[in-house]
Structure formats: structure tokens, C-alpha cells
Chain A
Amino acid sequence: MPNLESNFAGIKSPNPFWLASAPPTNTGYQVMNAFKAGWGGAVWKTLGQPIVNVSSRYGALSYKSTRMMGLNNIELITDRSLEVNLKEMKEVKEKFPNHALIASMMFEKKEEWHDCIKRCEDIGVDGFELNYGCPHGMCERGMGSAVGQNPDVCEKITSWVTEKATKPVIVKLTPNISDITKPALAAQRGGANAVSLINTINSVTGINLDTMDPNPTVSGLSTHGGYCGPAVKPIALNMVSELTNHPDFKLPISGIGGVETWQDAVEFFLMGASTVQVCTAVMHYGFRIVTDLIEGTSGYLDSHKMHSVGELCGITAKKLKKWEELDLNYKVIAHIDPEKCIGCQLCYIACEDGAHQSISVIPGQRVPMIKEDHCVGCNLCSLVCPVDTCISMVKIETGKSKITWKDHPANPLAKVKAF
């Protein structure tokens, strides 16, 4: 049995599966139920100055009969008083001393940050997460993503916190930025002990076509909301890998964005995260999903003869290179298994209309044929095929040695070798 215990920048927890700061961590009642269910840590719903929320608040993207592929919200930080939150946080910490309890915070003035840090440390929190991420509402007041998008401000505020806090400080990054490494490095300069990402992405999930009102509607109006859930995972994985691969960035990473199953969690670890945080999947299915996260991850480590999550950390991130470093002589072509093929011909029409005209159909025969000398090996057919493993991409021996764009004769900037 691998050991799932986690030490994230000095914050210890029984496992690396944490609840993200969001509605599932609104109250002590919820967090205690989550710990009972098996979650290793929880980042409390962001504390800050009093706010008022709107109704309604969430919008979702459904695909065919799949509900909530993506979720967005226009909710603000906690709408309960600091006193109530602190009282319940204290109770949680007393009942679950070995679980990680992290206070998420968002303030404007230095004194406000300092005051909250002190009160949180007094009740025994294990660390802090600075919310520089909310892309709606709070940013209009100079907080949230307004901080995360400006590296100088990000660094300054982080240093306000780190000069006061005795517990580890995590900076939560917004993805609403073109280069994620900039605010991450600023946080590092500001003395942060770790980063977490991603917060939610600017979005409008859809429009009610009867009323032409945007979702989620507040009396006919709306505002852009923060997008999360399964649909955002690819964006989050990329951003995590960019930090892992940055030579100057040294802090541990808590991966967030679309984690639902153990496979999602393992992907974040392979990209360089050492804990993951979950929000949407819990809002969809409840705390019980953690069982699958724990068992699935353990089983995966076992099957790879590994003993801890740390061993996974960053393995795949290293395999992400610049495009110009890829081998242009590597070649695969599609191969159809006629035994598995059900004859839907989706591969045919996808390649014919949407790619490279490399598949033919023979009248009276349902199994299509790959034109092997035409196929460019793009994968599209294997992606549309509804039958698992029916189309495989087979490596072709070209007999040519590796060549990258850097050295390619077609590249005007290449250091051209004698050919």
C-alpha cells in the first residue's frame, strides 16, 4: 500500500486531496463531513470584508446528455461574518487536528490582511491561501484577479502577508492572463511558500434563447462568471506544467481545475502538482467521490511500483517541449481493426470533410479503408471512432533519423547542416 500522506510546503495532511475554497467549504458542518468522508484538507471559503451575494449564481454547460461539463458562478467570497467562520474553523481544527485546514483570504488593506492572519493563526489554521483569482465582482473592487493579473501588485500584497504569517502561504493564481509564470514568479519573490492554480476562467456559459437573457440571470441581467469543472482541466494542466518547467520557479504546486476522478488527480501530479484541490466535482456529486480518488491513486502507484505521490511529480511535464524540438521524421498512420469496426463511417466523413481525405469507403462495405500513403497521422479518426481501441495509430519505420524544426532545411533560421 503506498503512503498517501502529504507534506505540502510544510502543511501536513493524510492525503493530497483537498477541497478548494468554494461552496463545499462554506461551513464547519460541511468541512467536518468532508473530513469524515476522507478528504485530506480543506481550503475554507475565502474570508474578507462583508459582501452580499446575488440570486441566481451558477450557470452550466451541458453537452448532449452530460450535465455540467463546465460550471460557472458569479458568487463572491464568504457571505458569513468573520466571527462565525473563525468559530467554526476552530471547531473543525479541534475535531480534526491532523487534517489540513487552510484559510483563504482576500482583503484590500495591509492592516486587514494582518488582522485576519493573526486571528486565523490564533485558532490554529495550518496555512493560508491568498485568493488572487476571482474574475468577477471582487476584481471590480481592486481585489481577486485584479491582483493576480498585475505581477507587481501580486508581489507587494504577498509580501504583506508573508511578513506577518508564521504558517505557510499559498498564492492562488488566476488563469485570466497570457503568461502564468509572471504572477507565479512575483508570488515567489513576495515570499510565498507555494502556489495553487487555477482559479476560474472568465466566461458566459450561455444564453436563454427564449428571453435572450445571459446565464445565470439576475432579473434579466448577468455578469461574466468564473468557469470551472471538467471542461477547464486541459487549461489547468498546461498552466501547471508551465510553472513546473520554468527554470526559475521553485515552489510546490497545488493543482486545481476539473479534478473529478483519480485519473484527473494523477494527471495533475504528473504535471508537477503535489496536492490537488476539488470544487465542481463535489458540488456535483458530494464528498463521497474522494473514495475513488484515494483508491484509484493508490492502485495506480502500486501498479507502477511507486510508494508516494511525490514520485509522480512532474514526470510528464518534462516531456512537454517546444514544438521546434519535436521529431519531424516520426510517423504514425491510422489502422482500423475490422473486427471491432461497427461501420458508422464517422472516421470517413471526419477525415474527408474535416482533415486530409485519407480514408475511403467502398460501396457495399461498411468498414472504411485507410489510404496509408495519404494519412498524415493526425489522430482525428481515432478520436471520433466510437469504439474503444478500434482505430489505432501505428508507428511507421521511415528509416530516417530524428530531425527537428531547429535543424530542418525548410526552416530559414535553421543552422543548416550540409545535406
Chain B
Amino acid sequence: MTKTVEKTDALDLERKFSKIKPLLKSYEASVEASRCLFCYDAPCINACPTSIDIPMFIRQIMSRNVEGSAKTIFTQNILGKSCGQVCPTEVLCEGACVYNAMNEKPIEIGRLQAFATDYAIKKNIRFFSKGKKTDKKIAVIGGGPGGLACAHELTRLGHEVTVFESAPNAGGLNTYGVAPYKYSNKESQEEINYISQIGFEIKTNHKIDSKSLSELEKKYDAIFLSIGLGKSNKLNIPGENLKGVYGASEFIHELREKEQKITVGKNIIVIGAGNTAIDATVETSKLGANVTVVYRRTEKEQRAYYFEVDLAKVHSARFMYLTTPIEILGKEKVEGLKCIKNNLKFEPIKGSEFVIPCDMIISAVGQEKMVDFYKNISGLKIDSGKVIVNKDFQTSNLKYFAGGDCVNGGKEVVNAVSHGRDAARGIDRFLMEKVSS
């Protein structure tokens, strides 16, 4: 009896978290591909942070050269599969597609990209191999999208690369962050296996600290930092330590780790209105909660993309704007959130306090930067917690290069991939110029 219940629960969970952009079938892909106009100097390419030759890969799908299409994509972006599924295409390539100017649906570039890359990954068709050996050794700290892209490109260039990852699985936020209805753990691991076959090592459960860092400095010719961001920011209001109060990235980490097999409160308040807040809102709604989003600013100012907010609304989330949380109420466990209305200058409106009862609070007001870690690196310059790099992604400590969220303060997977790829080329120039001079 219990077994069947579990089975239906699992099925139910699978259905609820099914892909919002499902993989295209071969016929769908060729129909969609044939709509592409094959623009010259296509605006979609310029809107892609990794500059994938989009009209070309789409044309290859149209001519049923799916393998060639995957190669076109991977040549620019080795994480083309996850990007195809998690990129906010509405504000990137698809947002730039000329069809928008005709008020027609833009080409589904992301889904076509996922289609072609999935084909190559499933069939394990490999396009790249290890370059001619250079005898240079490089350590990559952080096995997220930025680190993986860098390691792959460095290996292509002939260097010996080891990736150090503190988590039990690599992938960074692709594995422990992005919404599961975009990318699954299984897909993330398949992608990593595919990429790493080129011949670099990934050491998981390897957190680098001050001690291991000095060892790395001795052993390696260069070090690439792609450690992302830190813990969720604190709200700094009373009651934050009560049971049932979570930071968004920690909550989502657990959700992804347990593949959504977690229980959540019935009435949840999410504080903040960035993309992470909205992800947490949709995820907990899918798990059965009534979610209220509390945000200090106005609807217009929220940082989350409009299409993500729409998704939250489809999941019946309630939004309260111009509202400041002032205290979390409860004895041991959270029982409610005391708020006050504020005006456009964030000044509290006297007498407007009210309490929203709840049994869980998720705070999504940004993430800390890894400042403590950076203290271990001599001469490393940072600016508001972001590592400063030059156009080759080299830091002020010339042995160190950096890219991804730890440099840009938190953008998209595709930005981290572009950084990682270009940093690898920067590292190569740096090390090889030294050799030749």
C-alpha cells in the first residue's frame, strides 16, 4: 500500500516539475528551424554572450545535419546544452530575433540549441580532443559552468587541468541552483561527463581553504577562480534564527540535492523579488504551498524577468509591493512576519504595520561574496566583493585568473561560460608567451 502511494507521489512530483520548455522532437525541430530567416550579421548572435553562430546551427538542423549543428554550438559554448535550457532567452538571443519586429513569435533558439546538443550528448559524439601537451598545469577552483568551460578550453589547448569542487557533484548552480523544471540533476551530470571526457580531472568533495591554496600555488602554473557567490544575505531583523527561516540559495540547494523530495510549509513568505526569489516561489508553489512575495519596491522595479514573474503568477503566488519586513514572529518556530508599508523612498508609513501569518520564510535578498576566501590570496584586488580582472580575466595577482559570478557579481550561466572560455585563452597566452620569450 505505502509503496504504491510513494510511486504515485513520485509521478506527481515528476509531472509538477516537468520541463517548461520540453525537448523538441525531431520533426518539431525541423519545422521550427525552417522558420529561421538566416539573417546576415544576425542580431541574435550579438545578443548571445558566447556569440554562437545561431543562423548556422539552425540551418544545420533544417538540413538535418544535427551533428554539425551541435558542433557549431559547442565550438563557441561547450555548455550549449544547459544554456539552451536555462538561458533567459527572452532577454538574450530570442529577444533580439528579427521576428519580434514583425510582432511574430521569435525563433525558439534555446529549444533548438537544446535539441542539437542533446543529440550529440546522447550519442556521445565528440568534437574536441586534448591539445598538444604543453607541460603546464592549471588548477580550477569551482566546478560550476565557469570552471568547466575554462577547464575544457584549457585542455583543448594542451594544458593539464584539475578542477577542485567542494560539493559532492560538480556543475555549480546548474546542479544546485537553477530551477529543476529547466534542468535536472541527471542532465547536469550527463553534460559534465560529456565535457570532461576530453581529459581533465574533477576532484569533488575538495574544498579549497587557505592551507590547500598555498599548496596549489606551488604545484600549478596558474589558478582559475570560479567559486561563484556565497551564502544568502541576512535580513538583519529580529527572529531570523527561528526554525523555518531559510536563505533562498540554501533552500534551493537542498531542493535540488534531494530532487524535490522535500516537504515545505503550507503558507510561505518569500522576501525579495529577484529571479532567485521567484524560483523559490514557483518551486514551493509546485510543492503545494500558498506563497506570498514581499518586496520593498514596486512591481516595475523588481529585478526578476517579467516571464519569471508571470510563471509565479500562473502558480497563484501573491505579490505585496512597497512592503518592508520588520520582525519575524514565533516562539521556536516561525509563526508570522511583521511588515510595514513603505513609500517610494523606503520610508515606513506610520501605523501601517501588519502581520502575515506563515509557517516558513525564505529570504532571497541576494548572496554574500566570498570575501573571506579572497583574503588568502596575496595582492588580490576586489571591488564590492567582486574580483577585478583585465580583458584576459587575469587578476591583480598574476598567477590568478577569475570569471563567472565571482567576477560579475551574479549573472547567468552563459556569462560564466563565456568568461571561462575566454579566461582559458588568456591563461594560455600568459603561460605560453612566457615560454616563447
Contacts and interface: CB of A to CB of B under 8 A. Distances in A.
Do the two chains belong together in a single complex? Answer: yes
A345 interface: yes
B34 interface: yes
B62 A345 contact: no
A348 interface: yes
A343 B98 contact: yes
B64 to A, nearest CB: 10
Contacts of B30: 65
B39 interface: yes
A304 interface: no
B40 A345 contact: yes
A343 to B, nearest CB: 6
A361 interface: yes
Nearest to A345: B40
B101 interface: yes
Contacts of A343: 39, 43, 98, 101
Given A64-B62, A387-B102, A344 B39 contact: yes
Interface string B20-37: 000000000011001101
Interface string B91-107: 00000001101100000
A64 B34 contact: yes
Contacts of B34: 64-65
A394 interface: no
A341 to B, nearest CB: 8
Interface string B34-48: 110111111100000
Q: Determine the interface band of chain A, counting residues with CB < 8 A from chain B.
A: 10 to 19
A346 B55 CA distance: 12
A214 B41 CA distance: 38
B102 A345 contact: no
A67 to B, nearest CB: 11
A289 interface: no
A99 B139 CA distance: 86
A386 interface: yes
Contacts of B43: 343, 366
B99 to A, nearest CB: 8
Interface of A is mostly: loop
B40 A342 contact: no
Contacts of B31: 65
Interface in B96-121: 98-99, 101-102
A344 B40 contact: yes
A65 B62 CA distance: 9
A355 interface: no
Contacts of A361: 41
A209 to B, nearest CB: 10
A82 interface: no
Contact of B39 (A64, A65, A345, A387): A345
Contact of A345 (B41, B99, B101): B41
A337 to B, nearest CB: 13
A342 B41 contact: no
A332 interface: no
Interface string A344-365: 1110110000000000010000
Interface string B183-211: 00000000000000000000000000000
A386 B37 contact: yes
B62 A346 contact: no
B33 to A, nearest CB: 9
A166 B31 CA distance: 54
Contact of A346 (B35, B40, B101, B102): B40
Contact of B40 (A64, A341, A348, A386): A348
Contacts of A349: 40
Contacts of B102: 342, 386-387
A342 B62 contact: no
A349 B99 CA distance: 18
Interface centre among B38, B98, B99 (most CB of A within 10 A): B98
Interface string A61-78: 000110000000000000
Nearest to A390: B102
B301 to A, nearest CB: 30
A366 to B, nearest CB: 7
B254 to A, nearest CB: 45
Interface centre among B38, B41, B42 (most CB of A within 10 A): B41
B96 to A, nearest CB: 10
Nearest to B104: A342
A342 B35 CA distance: 15
A346 B37 CA distance: 8
Interface string A303-335: 000000000000000000000000000000000
A346 B40 CA distance: 6
22 contacts: A64-B34, A64-B62, A65-B30, A342-B98, A342-B101, A343-B39, A343-B43, A343-B98, A343-B101, A344-B37, A345-B39, A345-B40, A345-B41, A346-B37, A346-B38, A346-B39, A348-B40, A349-B40, A361-B41, A366-B43, A386-B37, A387-B102
Interface of B: 30-31, 34-35, 37-43, 62, 98-99, 101-102
Interface of A: 64-65, 341-346, 348-349, 361, 366, 386-387
Given A64-B34, A343-B39, A346-B37, 13 more contacts: A65-B31, A65-B34, A342-B99, A343-B43, A343-B98, A343-B101, A344-B39, A345-B40, A345-B41, A346-B38, A366-B43, A386-B37, A386-B102
